[in-house]
Copies of this chain bind each other. A is one copy, B any other.
Amino acid sequence: MNANPSEAAVQAWARLVRVSGALLDAVEAELKAAGFPALAWYDALLELSRAPEGRLRPFELERHMLLPQYSTSRLIDRLEKAGLAERLGCPNDGRGQHVAITEAGRALRERMWPAYAAAIERHVGSKIGCSDAEKLAELLGRLSGAASDGTLCGGAAVARV
């Protein structure tokens, strides 16, 4: 149980760290350059927009996004301040609340998707074939505890190539 990693594992890890960081930076930069907020906002808006009635409890959002609790709390602060989401009281649970996406929030997410999709295409799609992308996703999935992840886009916006 205390075995050392194989060279292949170390190499895979090194690339994972490096490449994911570089791509994340690049994609975030494209979003920012297009005048949009950061990826975390997109993810949060997407989670909310997909949830029934467009609302989630903060702790649910937290688990979907794999974020620390305080980080979620503050993300909600900012979304609320920007008018993209709102906090609503929670009738069943006095300490809790619901976070609901606003119309402005839905609209922003939809406007962001084309830019986001273009960035994904530029930095991933164009560099790797379709079947290789599937293989990559499968290998990555094997590394993940069990994190299920859906699509990145809400509705009909995914135009196939």
Q: Among A3-11, A54-62, A75-83, A104-112, which stretch is in contact with chain B?
A: A3-11
Q: Which residues of A approach B to under 8 Å, CB–CB? A: 2-25, 39, 66, 117-118, 120-121, 123-125, 127-128, 130-137, 139-145, 147, 149-153, 158-161
Q: Are B152 and A21 in contact (CB under 8 A)?
A: no
Query: Taking CB as reference atom, which chain B residue is nearest A128?
Result: B142
- Distance A4 CA – B160 CA, assembled complex (angstroms): 7
- Distance A3 CA – B119 CA, assembled complex (angstroms): 10
Q: Are A117 and B20 in contact (CB under 8 A)?
A: no
Q: Are A120 and B10 in contact (CB under 8 A)?
A: yes
Q: Are A125 and B14 in contact (CB under 8 A)?
A: no
Q: Are A14 and B133 in contact (CB under 8 A)?
A: no
Most buried by B among A5, A7, A133: A5
